[in-house]
A = this chain, B = another copy of it.
Amino acid sequence: MPHGNALEGLDSFHRWFGERARASDYLVKEAPLERLDGWRVDPDTGNLVHRTGRFYTVEGLEVTTGGAGAERSWAQPIIRQPEIGILGILVKEFDGVPHLLMQAKMEPGNINTLQLSPTVQATHSNYTRVHRGKAVPYLEYFTVPGRGRPLADALQSEQGSWFLGKRNRNLIIGTDDDVPVLDGFRWVPRTELDALLRLDNVVNMDSRSVLAAYPVPVDARLAREDSYRGALARSAAAPADATELLSRFTAAKATRSLTRRRVPLASVPGWHNDGTRVAREDGRYFSVLGVDVEAGDREVARWSQPLIAPAGRGVIALVTRRTDGLLRLLLSVRTQAGTFDVAELGATVQCDPANHPDAPPPFLDHVLSAPQDRIRFDAVHSEEGGRFHHAENRYLVVEAGDDLPLEAPDGYLWATLRDTAELVRHSHYLNVEARCLLACLNTLR
């Protein structure tokens, strides 16, 4: 077979992935922040900075949000990385079946070390080779105009709780080239990726984020079914009419406010650097820790870096409902510390329940108490292991119970899949949690 592996199925994938895991030669050890090679705690600010001034910094941020209910103010540590990386997936048809070129990639924060990442997953520092590491393979498909056919290409935001205005260029590029498959890479059929997305911790965040914009064709046969999946297919084929949705979102942005001020990390109240980690006294939210890494298959064989380690496992859930035969998705309007432009549309629920012991966020109880037959998707996925340490979330797609009011409450919007797919083609509508859920939801099509 010209492409090496296509059409061999999931067993073959797992054999390959297992081999990659065994062949990987890496070691990740937690190390005290004050002894991370190449990094230092700035004596004036307490910020964590690389000696070159590059890559990223961990600093403090004061935040005030207004307009969505009461005004709120807080301060927190946040990662600042004011550069735009590339997350790109190459797509090619073999025997009429679209295959995606994926990579088994080690990231130091991954709970299981190797996960499936896009063809190219590179920070600006990576691909301009600040590391003086190896060149990034396949990069030219995503940087040289006309090298392939763009299927999707937009700047998309990442975790607003942990990143200050961070975004990456998310691309899907089609090609007919005879593309050499390098060690660690594999053409994965689209349907096989769907199956992998239903497994825990295989498909990494960067892949999920990019896959959200994959143009899934509507299955006409499915669209006639009187089922959840039928309603989903009809939702994808619904008349395009995002105007009402756009208007409500614009209204939210125009009436909310997000004021921020970068402050020294050492000045953030309630957070403390004890030389090992930066953490809160009450143990909530997250801590910042350091790792030493030795790896055989990365651009640089040995390095150290800080990571954000969330305190517990989160819940990222989408409430859906069938109305008029169409599935509708309940999106939330979210203003987070690092949101690029005031607000984006998020999952119905996105939180770590342990952070809210007394007042659970809206819909959390609804999704956690849903009976099995209303849970349409349920898998644990990890957030980006290059910045986050063991950051797992339970991704849920839940069909609403009859007790849920039809009207979306303030700060929430019902959207068809068609409209949501239209929004994800553009920047800064869907946050990373909503995009990752959209990739999960699309596995049901």
Contacts and interface: CB of A to CB of B under 8 A. Distances in A.
Interface stretch (A40-48, A130-138, A152-160, A393-401): A152-160
Contacts of A143: 251
Nearest to A426: B426
Interface residues of A, number: 26
Interface string A224-254: 0000000000000000001110111011011
A425 B250 contact: no
A84 interface: yes
A171 B247 contact: yes
A151 interface: yes
Give the dominant DSSP class at A's interface.
mixed
Contacts of A184: none
A145 interface: yes
A169 interface: yes
Contacts of A425: 242-243, 246
Contacts of A98: none
A375 to B, nearest CB: 32
A242 B154 CA distance: 12
Contacts of A248: 145
Which of A155, A171, A247: most chain B Cβ within 10 A?
A247
Interface string A124-166: 0000000000000000000101000011111100000000000
Given A145-B251, A254-B169, A426-B426, A243 B150 contact: yes
Given A145-B251, A250-B427, 13 more contacts: A143-B251, A145-B247, A150-B247, A152-B243, A153-B246, A153-B247, A153-B251, A154-B246, A155-B253, A169-B250, A171-B250, A242-B425, A243-B425
Interface of A: 84, 86, 143, 145, 150-155, 169, 171, 242-244, 246-248, 250-251, 253-254, 341, 425-427
